[in-house]
Amino acid sequence: MASGLAPAALCRPATINIALSTGHPMPLHLETPLIESVPLSLASGRSIFLKMEALQPPGSFKIRGVGAACEHHAQNGKRRFVSSSGGNAGMAVAYAGRLLSIPVSVFVPETTTERAKSLIGQQGAEVIVHGAAWDEANAEALASVDAETAFIHPFDDPLLWTGHATVIDEVVRSGLAFDAVVLSVGGGGLFAGVAEGLRRNGLQQVPIFAVETEGTASLAASIEAGALVELASVSGIATSLGARKVSDRAFELSRTRPVESVVVSDADAASACMRFLDDHRVLVEPACGAALSLAYAHADRLAGYERVLIIACGGATTTVERLQAWQASY
């Protein structure tokens, strides 16, 4: 377990010149609480268990896989990490780099919010703003990669999936029996990791509810087309789900293991975030609200399942003010 990790609560804007902690015991992620949610159970008419990934220091489950990948690359001699995510993946890389004392560069497009840039900068990473859209920032990031640099992909890398799989190892170790897992899908890294965790614990028959929002439903589109397809664009408030195409692995899993694809509205996702804030006193992004909304608003989809594990994946890029504005607009 990860006792003695650098306390993230000590993070301040880098301009306030305090020394942030470096050096750490492995692994980089925390073992998160697993709680039976009375409010979500009452709302959905079945037992709902929450794996509270929102409590990971960089704000989401991403540190599990990103941390595992960064440790692997550090052990193999890499001296610099590069990311092109202005979201939770970039934050996780920045956090991992700080704890491993390895410099991090995060390339983001001009559309990236000040809040996201500041959160990444607070972890001591260099934030490079390049281009009008993500593709340009990503190309610049890739162009900066040399022999000593590891590029950390946000969702499409077996190293990430192996790290994300620890979320299931922890649940199994707790002794909890569950008959379905609910998670949200962007590029499908969490999905692939949870599938790996279920498989390595002999639970490959447990169905996964793969939740996306209407504007980000790239897995649902591929399942419907019967082939891996790329959306022309993504839209809506669940920006952390905004991959135009899921990984090959995610699509393959949708054809080879039990998977229920669910698409919810932005209004559902925003409303779930607000209810979750009241119910569990934890602020999460609409990307996470999408998964939570299965219990709050779409429990009919869970018919036949009695003990459901929801991965409360978290997300650090939103604020109460923004959630309130979204909710008011629906």
**Site residues (vs ligand PLP, CB under 6 A):** 60, 62, 87-88, 155, 184-191, 240-241, 243, 285, 287-288, 313-315
- Residue 104 pairs in a beta bridge with 81
Measured from the CB atom, the residue of 130 and 244 that comes closer to ligand PLP is 244
Q: Which is nearer to ligand PLP, 99 or 287 (CB)?
A: 287
Of 77 and 163, nearer to ligand PLP (C-beta) is 163
88 vs 138, which CB is nearer to ligand PLP?
Answer: 88
For ligand PLP, the closer CB: 155 or 178: 155
The answer to whether the beta carbons of residues 228 and 249 sit under 8 Å apart is: no
Measured CA to CA, the distance from residue 192 to residue 89 in angstroms comes to 16
User: Please, which contacts does 196-202 make with residues 24 or more away whose CB atoms are closer than 8 Å?
Assistant: 196/161, 196/162, 196/164, 196/165, 196/168, 197/164, 197/165, 197/166, 197/167, 197/168, 197/169, 197/172, 198/168, 200/165, 200/168, 200/169, 201/168, 201/169, 201/172
**For ligand PLP, the closer CB: 175 or 316:** 316
Q: Is 132 exposed, middle or buried (0-12, 13-18, 19+ CB in 10 A)?
A: exposed
- State the Cα torsion 127-133-134-138 to the nearest 10°: -70
Q: Is the peptide bond before 25 cis (omega within 30 degrees of 0)?
A: no
CB of 45 to ligand PLP, least distance (A): 25
Q: Residue 107: helix, strand or coil by DSSP?
A: strand
Least distance from ligand PLP to the Cβ atom of residue 237, Å: 12
Which of the 8 DSSP states describes residue 54? G
Shortest distance, CB of residue 64 to ligand PLP, whole angstroms? 10
Min dist. Cβ of residue 15 to ligand PLP (A): 26
For the bound state, the minimum distance from the C-beta of residue 163 to ligand PLP, rounded and expressed in Å, comes to 11
Q: Which is nearer to ligand PLP, 61 or 107 (CB)?
A: 61
CB of 240 to ligand PLP, least distance (A): 4
Q: How far is the CB of 58 from ligand PLP (least distance, A)?
A: 10
Cβ atoms within 10 Å, residue 115:
13
Q: Are 237 and 326 in contact (CB under 8 A)?
A: yes
